[in-house]
Amino acid sequence: FAYLDNSGDLQGIYEYNLSLYKTPELIEKVHQYLLDSLDYAVKHPDVTLRELMERF
């Protein structure tokens, strides 16, 4: 799980993420994926969720 706080920083439940992804490096990759997809969605508001998932 992850969310953006008011500053735009990506926050997450570290223990939960670590139970799924096992290493901090994998968590960082997941967070970067989320940030990249959110950035794209903001810049392209007409994109569908399916298109977003296929793109990333």
pLDDT per residue as tens digits for the range 7-46: 655 556 666 666 777 788 887 888 888 889 889 999 999 9
Please state the rounded mean pLDDT for residues 1-12.
Answer: 58
Amino acid at 42: V
pLDDT for 12 equals 62
Helix (H, G, I), strand (E, B) or coil at 45: coil
pLDDT for 2 equals 58
Letter string b/e over residues 7-42, b meaning 16 or more CB atoms within 10 A of that residue's CB = eeeeeeeeeebeeeeeeeeebeebbeebeebeeebe
Please tell me the distance from the alpha carbon of residue 17 to that of residue 30, in angstroms, as a whole number.
9
pLDDT for 1 equals 53
Look up the domain containing 21 and give its range: 2-55
Please tell me the distance from the alpha carbon of residue 47 to that of residue 25, in angstroms, as a whole number.
29
pLDDT for 4 equals 57
Our count of domains for the chain comes to 1
Which of residues 43 and 2 earns the better pLDDT score? 43
